[in-house]
Chains A and B, each alone.
Chain A
Amino acid sequence: MVGEETSDEERAELRETLGLTDPIHIQFSRFVVNASKGEFGISYQLRRPVSELISERLPATIELVLVSALIALVSGTLLGVYTGINRKGFLSDAILAISLLGVSLPTFVIGILFIYLFAVILGVLPSFGRGEVVSLGYWSTGFLTLSGLKAIILPSVTLSLFQMTYIIRLVRAEMMEILQTDYIKFARARGISEKSIHYKHALKNGLIPVITIAGINIGTLIAFSIITETVFQWPGMGFLFIQAVQFVDIPIMSAYLVFIAFVFVMINFIVDILYYFIDPRIRVKAEAVSG
């Protein structure tokens, strides 16, 4: 926050105004009190209120995470169902082998490979940034412009690969288990079509554990987005955080970590509520108790 030529008196004065001379427990309780009001102080590096910085960068990260969560869930479920039903096919083996690559390669390698392939060699997609954004009050979105949409493809796919692998394997295991159960056999014995057995009877049951994992994973996606945002120069919170780490910008780091923790708790809460709607065994029991 200070330049080379700042005098010692000025430095001491700044320390005093920032409250750095107080004992640690006072500093910490001040931080907790302020944090509970949503105030995280002023960034040392950028000299602007942290809450302002976060809310500026938040839309970029949320959009990235939403798109990649959607990709991971939809394609993960579809591929999982396919590999669960056709266990011995060549395509299933291929999907599983490639998905293994998705877990074993680090995100930044995949990101760089994607940039090399699609941006450098083919030149069809931008290699960095968010493209043009449209500001809607507090929210700036990249969904409304062509360049914004093009820009989100590579980072979101990169980010989703890891989660997708998990979901494929989970859905596959669930499908295989459920297709062995008595009620599926009984449905077959009643002549219900295979299509209905797979998607109505089996998948619906299989999705219950998937929702738990997917919920936790959305939190993980936000955490993982640090790397992806860095690789693609995505102007989101993760990118902000990495810069803050390099500058030991503690207010930004602490605000970021508190925010992530909050998101984790909220998502798990939402997942628990979703259970209520999906699993009739929970819903009906709750009604019976309240009634």
Chain B
Amino acid sequence: MTFLKINNLSVNYEMRRETVYAAKKVNINVEKGEILGLVGESGSGKSTVGNAIINLIDEPGKVSGGSIILDGTDIYENPENILKLRGKKIGLIFQDPQTSLNPILTIGEQLIETIQTHLKLSTEEAKNKAINLLKEVGIKDAETRFDNYPHQFSGGMRQRVVISLALCCEPELLIADEPTTALDVSIQSQILDLIKRLTKERNLAVILITHDMGVISETTDRVAVMKNGDLVEIGPTKEILTKPKEIYTKALVSSVPPTNKKINRFKIIVKENNTQGETNIKILNRWTKKEIIDQDLVKVKNLSKTFDDSFFIESTKNSVMAVDNVSFNIKEGESFGLVGESGSGKSTIAKMIVNLYSPSAGDIDFDNVCITKIKSNKEMMKFRKQIQMIFQDPYSSLNGRLKVKDIVAEPIKLHNPSINSKDLDSYIHDLLESVELTQQSAERYPHEFSGGQRQRISIARALATQPRLLVCDEPTSALDVSIQAQILNLLKDLQEQLNLTILFISHDLPVVRQMCDRIAVLKNGKLCEISKTEELFKNPSHEYTKELLTLMPKIESIYN
């Protein structure tokens, strides 16, 4: 008998205007001892299926058809059933360990409460069990950590606590909804190893929901691919990834940046909007194109930045050394990658280059002028015009109250106040077309666009001042893999046509490999190494780089 049987499951969200079918007649079986991957892009319904199993679909969604049978019990036959199963037989892990623990209860209180809800144990016995569990998931000093509050743990440690909470009453089914998306690559591999180990030791059935094909190929036994609520394909992971039958699966697999080689362009699944295949960079006509001179456009010399915790007294005790004596040069016309885990100081460096932070020590030269020493605002404006930034989150980096045309017009008018409105309009249209948006987009507001389109608007805004250096701070980490491929292709095209210099910041090694000519690796604010991209991936010289490269989930591992 199958352990978990999902039979023709349909989930609808009835909105005021329309009904959204988040899952359409999905059939999935899961056996004990196996890890099933559930993969798809955002909006594919993969989380909906996970939530349906534990009957925690967000309002106004509800199960409109089909059944879920866990070990012989039909979950939707009787609403009482699930209450006995939650925590006891099914454990759930969420994406973000920062928000899944109650901030004002100690982890011990949360563990004991959960244990005592399901098992008849005294507080003392529950505490012993909880401490053993914390040890099992790899938390050191479990006895003392037991009385700590969630905010005293790091992200990876919190996810371990979350796993111990999900497993504390020995469930037989574990649903992990993007369990490592919010974590650094080194922590990610630890958490995935932990899940794999526990699956074997406890003979769990695991459903791993993720968008990351690398994670899927390294962790799962079987994989189910979802798209717009439909189950596209299901089968053994190796078979699906190497010989996909469906077109969508093929496209999805091919749009993942390969980790083992450099390619020219990313493969595209479906265009977001139906523009012509060739990118038409209209902006070229008005671009005062600078010839690439063989020089270092940016010189970063012994750069340091300390953040003080206290406002009033300068104390060295609480200060954090975010960037510690970093030096590198960026050649004009090249793509320079800055790689590191969270807290490595990569975004701080970017903010110092665009002069949002001022460095505690060291200098930054741009075009042979030291920009960190400029005091007058007027002088600085000349450089601000030449350095533009693209931010990570396309939702918060655009002002929702302005029309797209006003968003793009703002930097133009700032640097060229005398421009007449006719010129301005045609300039904006050219910019929008260069980033493959229609002219009609100008009259609309940001919320009418998808994440990928918003990031295009950000790029148009950055190009408006005709910069020489484009600083991209994780420009695609909030986007789906197919959209990511489009945006990265666009950036490559723009760079080629407009002779841009790009500083590309990312934690995603495969992406950096495709985008950059040279790469600098950062750890805890210190520079580990700088080398040419292929050199770095083939012969890393620093220990930390080697470690990062081995830990990076590789979709290609499936071929071995």
| Chain A interface residues toward B at CB < 8 A | 181-183, 185-193, 196, 200-201, 204-205, 208, 278-281, 284, 289
Contacts and interface: CB of A to CB of B under 8 A. Distances in A.
28 contacts: A182-B96, A182-B100, A183-B100, A185-B94, A186-B92, A186-B94, A186-B101, A186-B165, A188-B86, A189-B56, A190-B114, A190-B117, A190-B165, A190-B166, A190-B169, A191-B84, A191-B85, A191-B86, A191-B114, A193-B117, A200-B105, A204-B104, A204-B105, A205-B102, A205-B103, A279-B104, A281-B103, A284-B151
Nearest to B90: A189
Interface residues of B, number: 36
Contact of B56 (A185, A201, A278): A185
Among B94, B104, B114, B168, residue most surrounded by chain A Cβ atoms (within 10 Å)? B104
Contacts of A279: 104
A186 B54 CA distance: 11
A80 to B, nearest CB: 18
A201 B105 contact: yes
Contacts of A208: 104
A187 B104 contact: no
B87 A191 contact: yes
Contacts of B56: 185, 188-189
A191 B88 contact: yes
B418 interface: no
B149 A280 contact: yes
A280 B87 CA distance: 26
A181 B99 contact: yes
B547 interface: no
Given A182-B96, A281-B149, A189 B113 contact: no
Given A189-B54, A189-B56, A191-B114, A280 B100 contact: no
Contacts, number: 83
B176 to A, nearest CB: 12
Interface in B288-330: 318
Contact of B87 (A181, A185, A192, A205): A192
Given A182-B96, A196-B113, A189 B86 contact: yes
A189 B177 CA distance: 12
Given A191-B87, A192-B87, A192-B114, A280 B318 contact: no
Overall SS of chain A's interface: helix
Contacts of B110: 187
B152 interface: yes
A67 B30 CA distance: 60
B94 A280 contact: no
Contacts of A187: 102, 110
A284 B149 contact: yes
Nearest to B84: A191
B191 interface: no
B96 A192 contact: no
Interface string B107-125: 0001001100110000000
B104 A190 contact: no
Contacts of B165: 186, 190
B83 interface: yes
A11 to B, nearest CB: 56
Nearest to A288: B152
Interface string B144-164: 000011011000000000100
A188 B94 CA distance: 12
A206 to B, nearest CB: 10
B55 to A, nearest CB: 9
A192 B92 contact: no
Among A186, A201, A204, residue most surrounded by chain B Cβ atoms (within 10 Å)? A186
A197 to B, nearest CB: 10
Contacts of B152: 284
A39 B192 CA distance: 72
Contacts of B168: 190
A226 B114 CA distance: 50
B280 to A, nearest CB: 44
A193 B116 CA distance: 11
Among A186, A188, A189, A193, residue most surrounded by chain B Cβ atoms (within 10 Å)? A189
A280 B54 contact: no
B100 A186 contact: yes
A185 B162 CA distance: 13
A281 B101 CA distance: 13
Contacts of B87: 189-192
Contacts of B113: 192, 196, 200
Contacts of A192: 87, 113-114, 117
B479 to A, nearest CB: 22
A272 B110 CA distance: 27
Contacts of A183: 99-103
A283 to B, nearest CB: 9
Interface in B69-108: 83-88, 90-92, 94, 96, 99-106
Nearest to A281: B151
